[in-house]
Amino acid sequence: MMNQKHGNIGLTRRHCVGLGIASVAAAPAWAAQLAPEPPARVALGGFDAVSYFLGGQNSPETGLAAFEYSWSGRTWRFAHPANREAFRAEPAIYAPRLGGFDPLGVIEGRFVNTDPLIFLLVPGPDGSRLYLFRSTANRAAFAADADLPGQAEARWPDLRRSPDADPAE
Protein backbone atom coordinates (compact mmCIF):
# COMPACT_ATOMS: atom_id res chain seq x y z
CA MET A 1 0.00 0.00 0.00
CA MET A 2 1.28 3.44 -0.90
CA ASN A 3 1.39 6.18 1.70
CA GLN A 4 1.78 9.49 -0.08
CA LYS A 5 3.62 11.18 2.77
CA HIS A 6 6.11 8.41 3.61
CA GLY A 7 6.29 6.34 0.48
CA ASN A 8 5.66 2.60 0.37
CA ILE A 9 5.74 1.27 3.90
CA GLY A 10 3.54 -1.79 3.31
CA LEU A 11 1.59 -1.57 6.58
CA THR A 12 -1.87 -0.30 7.25
CA ARG A 13 -3.14 0.97 10.54
CA ARG A 14 -4.88 -2.36 11.00
CA HIS A 15 -1.56 -4.19 10.62
CA CYS A 16 0.09 -1.90 13.16
CA VAL A 17 -2.69 -2.44 15.69
CA GLY A 18 -2.44 -6.20 15.13
CA LEU A 19 1.33 -6.15 15.66
CA GLY A 20 0.92 -4.04 18.80
CA ILE A 21 -1.59 -6.46 20.27
CA ALA A 22 0.62 -9.43 19.43
CA SER A 23 3.66 -7.86 21.06
CA VAL A 24 1.72 -7.01 24.24
CA ALA A 25 0.44 -10.59 24.42
CA ALA A 26 3.99 -11.91 24.07
CA ALA A 27 5.45 -9.45 26.58
CA PRO A 28 4.95 -11.50 29.74
CA ALA A 29 7.09 -14.33 28.38
CA TRP A 30 10.12 -12.23 27.51
CA ALA A 31 9.60 -9.61 30.21
CA ALA A 32 9.76 -12.28 32.90
CA GLN A 33 13.13 -13.35 31.55
CA LEU A 34 14.46 -9.77 31.65
CA ALA A 35 13.04 -8.66 34.99
CA PRO A 36 15.45 -9.30 37.85
CA GLU A 37 14.25 -10.94 41.02
CA PRO A 38 13.71 -8.45 43.82
CA PRO A 39 16.68 -8.54 46.18
CA ALA A 40 16.24 -10.35 49.46
CA ARG A 41 16.24 -8.15 52.51
CA VAL A 42 19.48 -8.02 54.45
CA ALA A 43 19.06 -9.53 57.91
CA LEU A 44 20.28 -7.85 61.09
CA GLY A 45 21.07 -4.61 59.30
CA GLY A 46 24.04 -6.39 57.72
CA PHE A 47 25.63 -7.50 61.00
CA ASP A 48 27.17 -10.97 61.28
CA ALA A 49 24.76 -13.24 63.22
CA VAL A 50 27.54 -15.55 64.39
CA SER A 51 29.62 -12.68 65.76
CA TYR A 52 26.99 -12.03 68.46
CA PHE A 53 27.99 -15.36 70.01
CA LEU A 54 31.75 -14.86 69.98
CA GLY A 55 33.07 -14.13 73.45
CA GLY A 56 34.54 -10.82 74.46
CA GLN A 57 32.61 -8.63 72.03
CA ASN A 58 30.39 -5.78 73.06
CA SER A 59 28.83 -5.45 69.63
CA PRO A 60 28.49 -7.60 66.53
CA GLU A 61 30.80 -7.37 63.56
CA THR A 62 29.65 -5.89 60.28
CA GLY A 63 29.07 -8.54 57.64
CA LEU A 64 30.46 -8.26 54.14
CA ALA A 65 28.68 -8.75 50.82
CA ALA A 66 31.49 -11.14 49.84
CA PHE A 67 30.30 -13.56 52.55
CA GLU A 68 26.54 -13.77 52.05
CA TYR A 69 24.11 -16.62 52.55
CA SER A 70 20.37 -16.70 51.80
CA TRP A 71 18.12 -18.25 54.40
CA SER A 72 14.49 -17.77 55.39
CA GLY A 73 13.84 -15.08 52.77
CA ARG A 74 16.73 -12.94 53.93
CA THR A 75 20.32 -12.30 52.93
CA TRP A 76 22.65 -12.84 55.86
CA ARG A 77 26.11 -11.26 55.79
CA PHE A 78 29.17 -12.46 57.65
CA ALA A 79 32.51 -10.93 58.58
CA HIS A 80 34.40 -14.15 57.82
CA PRO A 81 33.77 -17.21 55.65
CA ALA A 82 34.03 -19.46 58.74
CA ASN A 83 31.11 -17.58 60.32
CA ARG A 84 29.05 -18.04 57.16
CA GLU A 85 29.76 -21.78 57.23
CA ALA A 86 28.82 -22.04 60.92
CA PHE A 87 25.53 -20.27 60.18
CA ARG A 88 24.89 -22.41 57.10
CA ALA A 89 25.32 -25.56 59.19
CA GLU A 90 22.83 -24.49 61.90
CA PRO A 91 21.06 -21.20 61.14
CA ALA A 92 18.41 -21.61 63.84
CA ILE A 93 21.13 -21.47 66.50
CA TYR A 94 22.48 -18.10 65.33
CA ALA A 95 19.40 -16.33 63.96
CA PRO A 96 17.63 -14.03 66.42
CA ARG A 97 14.67 -15.52 68.22
CA LEU A 98 11.11 -14.39 67.54
CA GLY A 99 11.90 -13.41 63.96
CA GLY A 100 14.13 -10.62 65.25
CA PHE A 101 11.16 -8.73 66.73
CA ASP A 102 11.22 -7.21 70.22
CA PRO A 103 10.12 -9.85 72.75
CA LEU A 104 8.04 -7.36 74.76
CA GLY A 105 6.07 -6.52 71.62
CA VAL A 106 5.63 -10.24 70.88
CA ILE A 107 4.24 -10.78 74.39
CA GLU A 108 1.72 -7.99 73.68
CA GLY A 109 0.84 -9.60 70.34
CA ARG A 110 2.60 -6.97 68.20
CA PHE A 111 5.47 -6.93 65.72
CA VAL A 112 7.91 -4.33 67.05
CA ASN A 113 11.02 -3.66 64.97
CA THR A 114 14.37 -3.73 66.70
CA ASP A 115 17.84 -2.25 66.67
CA PRO A 116 20.43 -4.97 65.94
CA LEU A 117 22.84 -3.21 68.29
CA ILE A 118 20.49 -3.63 71.27
CA PHE A 119 20.62 -7.33 72.00
CA LEU A 120 20.82 -9.91 74.74
CA LEU A 121 22.12 -13.47 74.75
CA VAL A 122 19.91 -15.54 77.03
CA PRO A 123 21.35 -18.84 78.26
CA GLY A 124 19.16 -21.85 77.79
CA PRO A 125 19.35 -25.63 78.11
CA ASP A 126 20.48 -26.00 74.51
CA GLY A 127 22.77 -22.94 74.39
CA SER A 128 22.38 -19.19 74.31
CA ARG A 129 19.69 -17.55 72.22
CA LEU A 130 19.87 -14.12 70.62
CA TYR A 131 17.08 -11.62 71.32
CA LEU A 132 16.91 -8.15 69.77
CA PHE A 133 15.18 -5.12 71.28
CA ARG A 134 13.75 -1.77 70.26
CA SER A 135 15.29 0.03 73.23
CA THR A 136 17.70 -0.46 76.10
CA ALA A 137 14.74 -0.07 78.48
CA ASN A 138 13.01 -3.06 76.85
CA ARG A 139 16.24 -5.07 77.08
CA ALA A 140 16.62 -4.20 80.78
CA ALA A 141 13.00 -5.17 81.53
CA PHE A 142 13.41 -8.46 79.66
CA ALA A 143 16.68 -9.27 81.44
CA ALA A 144 15.17 -8.47 84.86
CA ASP A 145 12.25 -10.91 84.58
CA ALA A 146 13.18 -14.57 84.10
CA ASP A 147 9.60 -15.40 83.02
CA LEU A 148 9.56 -13.09 79.98
CA PRO A 149 11.62 -15.29 77.59
CA GLY A 150 9.18 -18.16 78.12
CA GLN A 151 6.17 -15.88 77.67
CA ALA A 152 7.55 -14.46 74.41
CA GLU A 153 8.45 -17.90 73.07
CA ALA A 154 4.97 -19.21 73.94
CA ARG A 155 3.25 -16.27 72.20
CA TRP A 156 5.44 -16.34 69.08
CA PRO A 157 3.92 -19.32 67.15
CA ASP A 158 0.43 -17.76 67.10
CA LEU A 159 1.71 -14.28 66.28
CA ARG A 160 3.92 -15.68 63.54
CA ARG A 161 0.85 -17.18 61.82
CA SER A 162 -1.14 -13.95 61.99
CA PRO A 163 -2.08 -12.13 58.75
CA ASP A 164 0.35 -9.29 59.60
CA ALA A 165 3.31 -11.66 59.87
CA ASP A 166 6.26 -11.17 57.59
CA PRO A 167 6.20 -14.14 55.18
CA ALA A 168 9.97 -14.47 55.47
CA GLU A 169 9.85 -15.02 59.21
Return d(Cα 169, Cα 8) in angstroms, integer.
Answer: 62
pLDDT recorded at residue 16: 45
Show Cβ contacts of residue 6 under 8 Å, excluding neighbours closer than 6 positions. none
Question: Is the distance from CB of 53 to CB of 121 less than 8 angstroms?
Answer: yes
Question: Is the distance from CB of 111 to CB of 98 less than 8 angstroms?
Answer: no
How would you classify the pairing of strands 74-78 and 41-42?
parallel
Please report which confidence band the pLDDT of residue 161 belongs to, taking 50, 70 and 90 as the band edges: confident
Q: In a 3-state reduction of DSSP, which class is residue 4?
A: coil
CB count, 10 Å around CB of 48? Answer: 24
Least confident of 2-16, 102-116, 135-149: 2-16
The stretch 21-28 carries a mean pLDDT of 44
Q: Where are the beta strands (DSSP E) in the chain?
A: 2-3, 7-8, 41-42, 64-71, 74-78, 115-122, 129-133
Q: pLDDT tens digits for 123-146?
A: 988 899 999 999 999 999 999 999
